[in-house]
Structure 1
Amino acid sequence: MINRFYSNPSAGSKLEWAAINVVLAIGYCVRSIAGDDIALRFDDSKITNCINNVREQMDDILSRKDEIYGVQVLLGLAILHQGNVDQETPSTWVSTALRLAHRVAQQRTNVFWIAYFLDKDSSLRLSIPSFQLDSDVDLDLPTEGEIQSLDGLSRFNYFRARVLLAHIAGKIYDELYSNRSRKLSAEARQQRIFSLNRILDQWYRSIPTPLQAEHLTQTLGKVPGSLMIALHRSYLFCLVMLHGVYSLESPWVQKLGGFAIMVLQHSDKNSDVCMKGFAPPLPSAWVKLVTTSRSSLRLYLSELNGIGMIWPDARSNFTAFVILWANIIYHPQHDFVEHDRRLIRDAISLTDKQLNYDGLEKYKQLQCVLAGLERLADVTTNYAKENEGYRLASDINLQIDGSHPALQFEGSAAENIDPIFVSSQRPNTKGSVD
């Protein structure tokens, strides 16, 4: 298409021009991920120019309802804007792409599944219903998109795993954040959390050990490694949205004070449900949140994280900062206190360099929450040093982890997803997300 277009530009369509620019922009991004800071700065202006060229053709893209290029261009734009603080416009592109996909590209399963996981991600992040209903999906799960470790011993179908994680994210929204779920009793909500947690754990166990977060820097190259970092980042987001990190009943929230709590309450569309509708995380969930946050920040600071240089995820980083500071407050003498302090400060410094805070008053206000947590952490660690054996956790009555019968609501019981993970080991086996 590129050769044809440039050999006779006057005969090319605006849609083809937009498609070429999307491909070029994504290509520059991949080159920047694999390169260094100089390459990133050199390609950044090219990426911006390509995106501007595409957006100039938006009217033509939306009017050409019978061509697959329109779907691909819209999805490419959404991917290129993943690092933006404002995700509402990319969400609109994704829903439009899905609508077009149902008209012209249902047989193009890879295109559909890309739209699917972007749609489910946007749903949970923006607290809006997803456009695509799982009950309307009747396609094989993707078989392409495999990642291989440097030694060739570990293989993992990244694309399929990304789709399955998006399916779980959609379930988290539907069962815990949708309008109908806001009327749940505390017991029913906890049962749903327990059941969804089983599914999310099972998904994570499908990742080969060498490709899990703590081993990535030794087992993958920069481009596949960046993709896996993005996957682990999405996993952390699902954990956070599932386990009530920001519950008003959490001791770290109660100790922050009125202004910081007010900032949290107005920081997000999900804040009301997150803070008022959830109990604090159970101890087993808290351990998982801490270890995942620590791994996420290590990867963010690693040389492997090329994708974070292009699309910094301030939201995931902020939550990881909160969890690690809160963990120091709860356990001021744990083995990783000083390590986590350095990790948080280094990651905050890098985030400040990457993210332009101009006009982002919300993020500036959230920095006061981090400052308050750091002060609390300093107080508790100093007190713990002066009073040997002191642990704040013993004074705050964290919930005792207990067994909860899994609530059997449609599509979310752990056993309902088993066939998907069984089939994920056999690429030719058909599967469904519902």
Structure 2
Amino acid sequence: MEMDHRPRKACDLCYTRKLKCNGQQPRCSNCIVYARECTHTVQSRKSKPKTRCNGGNNTTRADEVQNLRARVQELETQLTQNPIKDNSHQSAGNHNNAGSSMILPPLQQALPMIEMFLNKLNSVLPLFHAGTFLRLVGECYSRTPRQRDPVAWAAINVVLALTCQQISSPDGDGDIGARADHTTEYLNRAQSVISDVMLGETRLLNIQTLVGMVMVLQSAHDPTQALILIAATIRLAHKMGLQNRITSAHLDHEERRQHTHVFWLVYILDKDLSLRAQQPSIQLDDDIDLDLPHSLPADDESDGDAPGVIATADGNARMNYFLARVQLANIEGGVYDCIFSTRAAKRSPEERLAAANSVLEALEKWQAEIPSEFGGAAVITSITNDSTSLGLFCVLHSISLRCMTLINRAHAWNDEWLPIGWATLVHQARDFMILFERAWSAEIWFRWIVSCPYVSSMMVLVTNNLRNLLHHRIQLDSQLVDKALQWLKAGAEETQREDVRILRDICVDIVQRVERKRAAPILGVCPRILL
């Protein structure tokens, strides 16, 4: 193989192990850790031409994991020979001795969880660059709790929290309570150093850590914590200029991609939480000058391995989920502006109608661009045995349905609106209820994100049954409504919330009215008397 005689900064150890060399003299930090001589005798080789294959990204990630395992094994051997006298068993909440409390679970426990996060969730919503994060893990585990960077330690805990919360265990671990407890434990650890994350030196890692915290907190019934944290996150993102391509022009290609990915995740969370809470979002669309995810070069990756891309089980269809979420977040901003903003209240009826039609047109265009294989009910069979992706699509379609019902003001008694787009809304509501039923389990993390669209879907089907007692899907729709009522009953018993119980009673009453109206022709009774 032809040699390249250009000077190389990395020493032999760092070069052969693919570690980051700081060039420190007389020995770099990695040579000190591994107790090696710091030499520069191995010549650099010309890099191989880049190949575009489906498995390239997975192979690189596997190499990173293998290197990390080898590195940590050597470190563990050294630590065994030279034990460190340090009390690392203190609670993460001990703020009086924060340095010694920065403990982490054993690597053999943490690494499989990190791999699951990178392969399942991070590959769709790219919060971290896999190789960069694995190197961060290796560096953090190579230090004692007192020596660890608080922000890096918090980032690892956030990833562990996201894994426990949003990714089902491959061995089918059904201990729901333990998973929830572990999620809370890891999140509390990360939040114990939140002052370092928010007020320390502003780096991309700080923002990534905060974004991860918001991703965990967004699933709460009360989104207040997530709303407060996303506001602070956006301010730090603005401080770094993530919303503007000019501020990252001096960075290398991979760093620019990371900056762009993180900003769009911030944007998605901001618009999602804004519409759920009916509060103004922080990020203005006019202040953004960035490429959308699909416009970003993909390096060595093929379309199937590019960040954000999800493929069907047979590989015949794929879509960029990350891009779809960004575009839908933009529509969510339009829905808020059209319905809940102060400006909307000051518009004339004609202006409000024009704004609503504009947002509805954008939403319908977005829905039309989703491949049929990833539609509400179809996605159940197209991505079989992938509960993580199924949950992500359940969230996607719930947001779409929320936007549709809000923008159309889908109330059962609006006779002027019902004939216009009613059939489309009924179809989407039915598909979403089928998807929800398949994705639902007691351990899902997104229950409070999708519950309102689910109840709205039930009301749409009930209203449709009330309007048309003879439509050909009434049997299926009635079954879906019955299951939704059972779900509401269980929710009322679990939460002991009065508003949930009242909602269930109202829904039961409406369903009973529909059943009486359906029975009226058989009994020979006037339907109006029964209602």
Superposition deviation, residue 146 in structure 1: 0.8
Instruction: Give the Cα–Cα distance (whole angstroms) in 2 for the partners of residues 18 and 353 of structure 1.
Output: 36
Give the match for residue 338 of structure 1: 475
Q: Residue 110 of structure 1 corresponds to which residue in structure 2?
A: 261
Q: Deviations over 1:174-202 (max 9, x none)?
A: 12321111133333322322222111111
1:305 Cα deviation after fit: 5.1
- The within-5 A match list for 1:25-424 is 25-32=161-168, 36=172, 38=174, 40-64=176-200, 66-104=202-240, 106=242, 107=248, 108-143=259-294, 144-221=307-384, 222=386, 223-246=388-411, 250=414, 281-302=417-438, 304=439, 309-312=444-447, 313-350=450-487, 353=490, 357-358=494-495, 360-386=497-523
CA distance in 1, matches of 2:336, 2:308: 26
What is the TM-score of this pair, normalised by structure 1?
A: 0.76
Secondary structure in 2 matching 1:44 = helix
Contact 1:87 / 1:122 at 8 angstroms: preserved in 2? yes
Change (3 A) 1:391 1:359: closer
Deviates more, 1:158-167 or 1:369-378: 369-378
Give per-residue Cα distances to partners, 1:181-226, cap 9 Å, x unaligned: 1133333322322222111111011111111122111111422232
Query: How many Å apart are 1:100 and its aligned residue?
Result: 0.6
Q: Distance in 1 between matches of 2:443 and 2:474?
A: 25
Render the CA deviation track for 1:18-41: whole Å, top value 9, x for unaligned.
Answer: 211110111223432766461545
Mean alpha-carbon deviation: is it higher for 101-110 or for 115-124? 101-110
Q: Number of residues paired by the alignment?
A: 362
Task: Give the Å deviation of 1:315.
Answer: 1.5
Alpha-carbon separation, structure 2, partners of 1:385 and 1:193: 42
Alignment partner, residue 300 of structure 2:
none
User: Is the 8 Å Cα contact of residues 309 and 318 (structure 2) preserved in structure 1?
Assistant: yes
How far apart are the structure 2 equivalents of 1:54 and 1:356? 32
Contact 1:24 1:50 (8 Å CA) reproduced:
yes
The residue identity in structure 1 corresponding to 2:409 is G
CA contact (8 A) 2:268 2:326 kept: yes
Computing the radius of gyration from Cα coordinates, the structure with the larger value is 2
Cα distance in 2 between the residues matched to 1:71 and 1:24: 17
User: In the aligned structure 1, how far is the partner of 2:264 from the partner of 2:170?
Assistant: 25
Q: Given residue 324 of structure 2, which amino acid in structure 1 is its aligned partner?
A: A
Taking structure 1 as reference, are residues 285 and 384 closer, same or farther at Cα in structure 2, changes over 3 Å only? farther
SS in 2 for 1:326: helix
Change (3 A) 1:61 1:352: farther
Alignment partner for residue 3 of structure 1, among 119, 132, 138?
Answer: 138
CA 307–281 in structure 1, closer or farther in 2 if over 3 Å, else same: farther
Contact 1:32/1:40 (<8 A) preserved: no
Percent identity of paired positions between Structure 1 and Structure 2: 27
Of 358-367 and 293-302, more deviation after overlay is shown by 358-367
For 1:99 and 1:166, the matched residues in 2 are separated by 19
More relative contact order in 1 or in 2 (CA 8 Å, sep 6+)? Answer: 1
Q: Is the 8 A contact 1:156 1:208 kept in 2?
A: yes
Structure 2 distance, partners of 1:98, 1:246, is 35
Distance 2:442 2:374 in 1: 17
RMSD (Å) for aligned C-alpha atoms: 2.7
Name the TM-score, length of structure 2 as normaliser: 0.63
Q: Deviations over 1:273-320 (max 9, x none)?
A: xxxxxxx63424222221111111111111x55797222132122211
Please state how far the C-alpha of 1:66 moved relative to its aligned partner: 0.9
Give the deviation of 1:88 after TM superposition: 2.3
For residues 147-174 of structure 1, give each alpha carbon's deviation from its aligned partner in whole angstroms, at most 9, with x where no partner exists: 1111111111110110001101101111
Change (3 A) 1:307 1:172: farther
- In 2, distance between residues paired with 1:203 and 1:318? 23
The one-letter amino acid of 2:140's match is: F
5+ residue gaps, structure 2, are: 1-135, 243-247, 249-258, 295-306
Gaps of 5+ in 1: 252-279, 393-434
Q: Secondary structure at the match of 1:156?
A: strand
